[in-house]
Structure 1
């Protein structure tokens, strides 16, 4: 069984037992969270879509860790204008383990 969930402005296809890095959510490490924004649920050939959400469907997950991604380097330059700008960014993430999918 798999599901398509929406969290942090992004959509993810998840199945039970998967590890996933999502946008940071305020939860303690080891706690169980419930994601109720389920867009679709499927098993084998059958697929159930929601308009926009599947009613009564939830995904339970356990928070494994909180962390930060690798640094993304931003470099801007205008040729012949003596302009250079360097900047970096590290995005926060929450790593979760999908436990159960309830349709």
Structure 2
């Protein structure tokens, strides 16, 4: 059984006991349980139910494992012949979540 769920504007294909890195959820602490109710598609052993836009009554329950940062991305700006150079780095924040169950 799998589902396609929308979390903070991004779509994830999830199955039970799967770890995903969702966009940062600041209000959820480690060990807290969360539910996602924007389920777009549910596949239960070959029976596919597609929502319009969401499947009514379907929920995905999950547990927050930890908050992590992604790999560093270097942002380098330069204007030639002007002596202008700027180097910055960015690390995007993610929330590591384990999927506990999918209910229809």
* Shared fold, TM over 0.5: yes
Q: TM-score range by the shorter chain?
A: over 0.9
Summarize deviations over 1:23-74 as a string: whole Å, max 9, x none: 1112111111111111110123321111111100000001110121122111
Q: How many residues align?
A: 103
User: How big is the shift at 1:83?
Assistant: 2.2
If the length of structure 2 is used for normalisation, what is the TM-score? 0.91
Q: Which stretches of structure 1, 4 residues or more, deviate above 6 A after TM superposition?
A: none
| Range that drifts further, 32-41 or 76-85 | 76-85
Q: Is the strand fraction higher in 1 or 2?
A: 2
52-61 vs 66-75, which moves further: 66-75
Structure 1 spans left out of the alignment, 5+ residues: none
CA distance in 2, matches of 1:89, 1:9: 21
